[in-house]
Amino acid sequence: MSHHYLRFEQVGYRYPDGHEALHDVSFELTHGEKAALVGANGAGKTTLLLHADGLLLPTTGQVVVGGIPITRRTLPTIRRTVGYLFQQPDDQLFMPTVEEDVAFGPANMGLDDAEIERRVAEALASVGATELRHRAPGRLSGGEKKRVAIATVLAMEPSILVMDEPTASLDPPARRQLFELIRTFRHTMLIATHDVELIRELCTRTLVLHRGTLVADGPTQEVLAAGEIG
Ligand SMILES: Nc1ncnc2c1ncn2[C@@H]1O[C@H](COP(=O)(O)OP(=O)(O)OP(=O)(O)O)[C@@H](O)[C@H]1O
Ligand SMILES: [Mg+2]
């Protein structure tokens, strides 16, 4: 299905203060590919991911999702296709209760109450957060927040999933549960991570960023063997 592909075409991005965070980045992920995005702190991983959902628009080049170039005009369509997990859960959670946060996206899509309920229940169960349903997101622990943030993204049932450090702050059982979830997710994924096990076990392809430039892109085994990461 063509709407599952994600293509960066010579993307450059300069922050308003003049810092060039991405330089001439090109790659394409096709249907069902699970790719890791790695690189040192400050390499530009988050900046790159923000471009995959139109949260930042390129200074030069363009990003295309399933044949649709990301522009201000196409953003509503793009947001339905691409699910984005923020590095900081606090950027994702803003409603008074967990269930309202998870229901927010589906409700915005105009789904009926029964479908919203199905999605909320399923998404919370899949991250082991059912018992957090009536809690206030602001009062959860870091790992609990992370699980709920993942649930808000899953409830949208996106075709492409973009995740920024998804395993950070998860305890070992929650991390394992996320691994299994990622394993069963059939769609396209781009995951920024420092978690070498996650990369080895689940990502068939690895992209390496160094100071805003893509310096390696290939099968994970080869990229690992070349000593590009851990
Ligand atoms: N709002 C901003 N204004 C100016 N520069 C920024 C801004 N946000 C990030 N940067 C800079 O852009 C570069 C890339 O940052 P980014 O957050 O994309 O890195 P990262 O690879 O995600 O790092 P980490 O592993 O720490 O999450 C860094 O040098 C950072 O200081
Ligand atoms: Mg980051």
CATH of the domain at 153: 3.40.50.300
Q: Specify the number of domains making up the chain.
A: 1
Q: Quick one: DSSP state of residue 170?
A: -
Residue 138 in any domain: the answer is yes
CA distance 182 to 176: 10
Contact between residue 19 and residue 5 where contact means Cβ atoms under 8 Å apart? no
Backbone angles phi, psi at 43, to 5 degrees: -70, -25
Residue 207 in any domain: the answer is yes
Copy the structure tokens of residue 136.
């206030």
Residue 162 in any domain: the answer is yes
Residue 230 in any domain: the answer is no
Residue 97 in any domain: the answer is yes
- Single-letter code of the amino acid located at 226: A
Q: Is the pLDDT of residue 92 over 70?
A: yes
Q: Kindly report, residue by residue over 195-230, the tens digit of the pLDDT.
A: 999 999 999 999 999 999 999 999 999 998 887 665
Q: By residue range, what is the domain housing residue 166?
A: 2-225
Q: Kindly report, residue by residue over 161-199, the tens digit of the pLDDT.
A: 999 999 988 889 889 888 988 898 888 999 999 999 999
Question: Which amino acids bring their CB within 6 angstroms of ligand 1?
Answer: 15, 17, 19, 21, 39, 41-47, 87
CA distance 51 to 85: 13
Q: Which atom of ligand 1 is nearest to the CA of 192?
A: 22
Distance from the CA of 17 to the center of ligand 1, in angstroms? 12
CA distance 18 to 149: 31
Q: Is the pLDDT of residue 30 over 70?
A: yes
Provide the pLDDT for residue 229.
66
The ligand placed nearest to the CA atom of residue 41 is 1
This prediction's pTM? 0.93
Residue 77 in any domain: the answer is yes
- Single-letter code of the amino acid located at 141: S
Residue 191 in any domain: the answer is yes
